[in-house]
Each structure stands twice: as structure tokens, then as C-alpha cells.
Amino acid sequence: MNLEICVAEPFAAMKARSLAHARQIDAGEIVAPLCEVGFETMAQFGAVFTPKRWELVEFLKASGPLTIYALAKRLNRHYRNVHKDVTTLMAWLAIDKDEAVRVFVPWDEIDIRWPLLKQAA
């Protein structure tokens, strides 16, 4: 499964995609889950997905589920900072927790879409 991150995409486009997906489900079609989050600006995206947080996501995907304490130790970072990053990344659906309270990356891919606006002629 993939997580789609949309930056600066018009709300109408995301809404249309979600409604089309819902119509397919209502029609009884078997469809892959639609997992999307959106940011209004690239600055907002960059504030959430910092280089240290991307490092955490990549390390966690490679290592498999870990407690936050174990993750902090392996990343050689302070527990409090890792806990804050984990909380933020969970809020934006990039990582999750299992029944044993270990964090993990549930995605095969995280795709970032940033449509550039056309300049007026």
C-alpha cells in the first residue's frame, strides 16, 4: 500500500478523487484503499517532513517495528526528540503503532505529488 502526500493541490481535485473512490466502493467494486494527506504549501510540508524525520522513516522501514526507546537508541538521538517526531509522523499517517506499542512504517511507498502552477500568459 502507498501513502500519497499532496502539496498545493487544489482541494477540489482531492475532493473529486475521494468522491470517485467512494462511488466505486458504493458500486461494489473492489478498490485499493485511498490513503492521502495534503499540505497547502511546500513550506508546511517541509515543516512536518524534516530531514531528521525522513531519516527516521527510512530507518524504521528498514529495521521493522521498534519501541520509541529502541528507535532513539539506534538513531543515536534523544528519546524526547524521537518521541516528538514519532507523534508528528503518526498524526500525518507516515508511521503507526502495533499492538505491542512498537512503531512501524505501514507503507511500501510514500509518494509526494506537487503540481506546479502554470504561469499566466
Boundaries of every domain in the chain: 2-113
Q: Per-residue DSSP letters for 55-118?
A: HHHHHHHHH--B-HHHHHHHHT--HHHHHHHHHHHHHTTS-EE-TTS-EE---SEEEEE-PPPP
Question: What CATH class is the domain 2-113?
Answer: mainly alpha
For residue 94, the 8-state DSSP code is: S
pLDDT tens per residue across span 45-74:
999 999 999 999 999 999 999 999 999 999
pLDDT tens per residue across span 34-53:
678 889 899 999 999 999 99
pTM comes to 0.82
What residue type is 46 in one-letter code? G
Report the Cα–Cα distance between both ends of the chain, in Å, rounded. Answer: 40
What residue type is 92 in one-letter code? W
